[in-house]
Amino acid sequence: MIMQKNDEFVLKIDALTSEGSGIGRKDGMAVFAYGTAPGDTVLAHVIKAKKNYCVAKALQILAPSPDRIENDCPAFPACGGCDFRHISYDAELRYKAERINDAFARIAGMDLKIEKMYGASACASYRNKAQLPFASGKNGVCTGFYASRSHRVVPNTRCRLQDKSFDAAAAAVRDWAAQTHASVYDETTGRGLLRHLYMRRACSGDLMVCLVINGKTVANPDLLLQLLQRAVPGLKTLCLNINRNDTNVVLSGETQVLFGDGYIEDVLCGLRFRISPNSFYQVNHDQCEVLYGLAAEFAAPKKNDVLLDLYCGTGTIGLTMAGRVQTLVGIETVSPAVEDARRNAAENGVENALFLCADAAEGARQMAEQGLKPNIIVLDPPRKGCAEDVLRLAASMQPERIVYVSCDPATLARDIARFAPLGYTAVRAAGVDLFPRTKHTETVCLFLRAD
């Protein structure tokens, strides 16, 4: 039977995809239904029919899964921020562990399984970062989140994942926009001022608010500051990020400071880190400490070790281990991140750290010139994983241990398979959930040299 758009039928959901959609089968064909859970029986309505699969919408839950819970957010599932507000957190953690283990088996061809899935103690208000697109709504300027796979903004004034101070700040910015008749950026024409509202919060409560604008300035900045200070007592700095590029990238490299120092500071693993608008910093403070603690456990640093932190960013992972090694070397291609890493080292009194602004190959050459050979390498690549030449370079240095911190189980599994012929075998792994109620998860993996 060939499925047609608008077909309706009863569907039993058996599994979840890596994107968080439920999967069932109708007459042997895979049917994907977002917002469903394994164990659900639903009335499915086909919205897209292909030769080998179809995508359906669950019109009605005929028999709920034992894992199903009541959704507590009116913006779900239209808002693209969450994937799992309809299942219990225990079920979410089980799914994430299965996803990692499945990637190891299916992509890496290994029987390796994670030792534990480290769940979060809090599933609400954990995000210390928000980037909210502006849109023109029925009642004027609104903020929200992009619907899944689109740039259509779904208004949301109370995100359950984000710190509540973000909601108050966003309301103040919307009030200012209404009073000053600020325009909203239109991607199709390239006109309009307001693009994104970008915010960061430290565990102390200090808040950074940054408006990303398609222009050089905003009207009545004093009113904006006044409204924000009234709404958010913890406001520490207010910035404008000037982004006039035709791009999906939220931030540009040009930032104006309207109030404060242009950054906030946070304490992580006992160290103080400066966070500016362009700084990379994990969004879940408490779970980040768990993640970095596991990375240190897998690395097992000793006082005479040289630790190389590739993709070091602002130096956070390496600096948390610097006190346990002889020398820390960080390599990063983004110059402002390297400057932040050096500043973070200095402000924390870390004197055994060397941060190089270079690609992996050039950084390795500079290390060799200084007689530095790493015993431990930490890899924390972007979601696409490591470039193959980086893997070869890391293996060629013959470290005793390689610790890989991954935000995508599939690319980690691919790189496990790539490391094997280079003489390094994955021997330990653990999952850490930094992103409760979403499909994303982190994995820490230890590689040992196969002597």
- Which of 20, 25, 27 lies closest to 41 in space, CA to CA? 25
Please give the order of strands across the beta sheet that includes 235-242: 153-155, 140-146, 129-137, 194-201, 207-213, 235-242, 255-259
Q: Looking at residue 1, what is its pLDDT?
A: 63
Cβ contact 199:130 at 8 Å: yes
Which positions ≥6 away from 10 have C-beta within 8 Å? 41, 42, 43, 44, 62
Amino acid at 118: Y
Considering the candidates 82, 159, 386, 407, report the single residue annotated as catalytic: 407
Cβ contact 357:333 at 8 Å: yes
Residue 168 is encoded by which pair of tokens? 């108050």
Look up residue 425 and give its DSSP letter.
Answer: E
- Which of 209, 366, 347 lies closest to 274 in space, CA to CA? 347
Query: For 93-206, where are the E strands, in sequence order?
Result: 117-118, 129-137, 140-146, 153-155, 194-201
pTM of the entire structure? 0.93
Measured in Å, how far apart are the chain's first and last C-alpha atoms?
Answer: 55
What CA–CA distance (Å, rounded) separates 92 from 87?
7
Give 266's strand partners: 273
Query: For 158-224, where are the E strands, in sequence order?
Result: 194-201, 207-213
Residue 427 is encoded by which pair of tokens? 């021997």
Q: Classify 345 as helix, strand or coil.
A: helix
Give 53's strand partners: 30
Q: Looking at residue 197, what is its pLDDT?
A: 98
Q: Looking at residue 137, what is its pLDDT?
A: 83
Q: Classify 284 as helix, strand or coil.
A: strand
Give 200's strand partners: 129, 208
What CA–CA distance (Å, rounded) separates 289 from 268?
7
| Domains of the chain, CATH where assigned | 8-63 (2.40.50.140), 105-120+280-449 (3.40.50.150), 129-268 (2.40.50.1070)
Residue 221 is encoded by which pair of tokens? 């900045």
- The burial of 413, by beta-carbon neighbours within 10 Å (0-12 exposed, 13-18 middle, 19 or more buried), is given as buried
407 is catalytic: yes
Look up residue 323 and give its DSSP letter.
Answer: G
- Which of 281, 268, 287, 294 lies closest to 121 in space, CA to CA? 287
| Sequence-ordered alpha helix ranges (H) in 41-150 | 89-103
Residue ranges of the chain with per-residue pLDDT less than 70: 1
- Which of 126, 113, 86, 98 lies closest to 286 in space, CA to CA? 126
**Which H helix or E strand runs over 419?**
helix 409-419
